[in-house]
Chain A
Amino acid sequence: GQSLEQPSEVTAVEGAIVQINCTYQTSGFYGLSWYQQHDGGAPTFLSYNALDGLEETGRFSSFLSRSDSYGYLLLQELQMKDSASYFCAVRGLSATNKLIFGTGTLLAVQP
């Protein structure tokens, strides 16, 4: 089976940097994605790592290490609007858009 574990909650202050980790157990996958979901809203795509290493998109960066079964999302210059739930997700090896989502991390940004 496949499982992805994340910390349930993270708290940080405005302007700070926060890292949300995702550790997984899976036999194989195409890549690791990250999604943001505000309370009551639709999940929105943030980033995708097909290969090991760091991907940077503005204030957000994502990292993947397949050898360590580990990835993380790094959020810099935190803003109040970044308060949301964050999910990592893996896409299986077959031709499919089936995503297995992590347990989710609720990020609270404080002033």
Chain B
Amino acid sequence: KAGVTQTPRYLIKTRGQQVTLSCSPISGHRSVSWYQQTPGQGLQFLFEYFSETQRNKGNFPGRFSGRQFSNSRSEMNVSTLELGDSALYLCASSSTGDTGELFFGEGSRLTVL
């Protein structure tokens, strides 16, 4: 069973640009959530999608957005990039089970110059 796949793994952007990150969940998983990981702030929840609907959203500015497609694949977009957006962006998928178990991808490491 393939794991969670995130692309690209690494990318470098400059301030003001925008970026789109992609996540393919484990087959059969309908929930996809996104997290930002930085040394200073740790792992912070961005948003969660379930069956193409945003089910929850973290405390991030509107520059951060996402969507989920009918095949459960998800994308997140960050517009007008700032230096502080440099981080590891992690995607996690889950079934609807009540075990608190998320399956994470390797992440997309974004560097903003």
> Is there an interface contact between A103 and B100, defined as CB atoms closer than 8 Å?
no
Query: Chain B CB within 10 Å — which of A30, A43, A44, A102 has the most?
Result: A43
**Measured between alpha carbons, how far is A62 from B56 in the docked complex, in Å?**
27
Q: Say yes or no: B43 contacts A87, CB within 8 Å.
A: yes
Closest to A102 in B: B42
- Which residues between 83 and 110 of chain B lie within 8 Å of chain A, taking CB atoms? 90, 92, 94, 98-107
| B113 nearest CB across to chain A (Å) | 20
Q: Are B48 and A30 in contact (CB under 8 A)?
A: no
CB of B98 within 8 A of CB of A98, answer no
CB atoms of A30 and B100 under 8 A apart: yes
Q: Report the nearest B residue to A45, measured CB to CB.
A: B101
- Contact present for B45 and A30 (CB under 8 Å): no
> B7-49 toward A: CB 8 Å interface, digit per residue (1/0)?
0000000000000000000000001010100000011110010
User: Is B63 part of the contact surface with A, judged by Cβ < 8 Å?
Assistant: no
Per the CB 8 Å criterion, the residue count for chain B at the interface is: 26
Is the Cβ of A103 less than 8 Å from the Cβ of B42? Answer: yes
* A58: min CB distance to chain B, Å: 16
- How many A-B Cβ pairs are below 8 Å? 69
Q: Which of B55, B98, B100 has the most CB of A within 10 A?
A: B100
**What is the interface size of chain A, counting residues whose CB is below 8 A from a CB of the partner?**
26
CB-contacts of A36-90 with B (<8 A): 41-45, 48, 50, 87, 89
Bound complex: CA of A102 vs CA of B44, how far in Å?
A: 10
CB–CB B33/A98 < 8 A: yes
16 A-B residue pairings within 8 Å (CB atoms): A30-B100, A42-B106, A43-B43, A45-B100, A45-B102, A48-B101, A87-B42, A94-B56, A95-B55, A96-B48, A97-B31, A97-B50, A97-B55, A100-B45, A101-B35, A101-B43
Interface residues of B (CB under 8 A from A): 4, 31, 33, 35, 42-45, 48, 50, 55-56, 58, 90, 92, 94, 98-107
Q: Which 5 A-B pairs have the closest CB atoms?
A: A33-B100, A101-B43, A42-B104, A48-B100, A98-B56
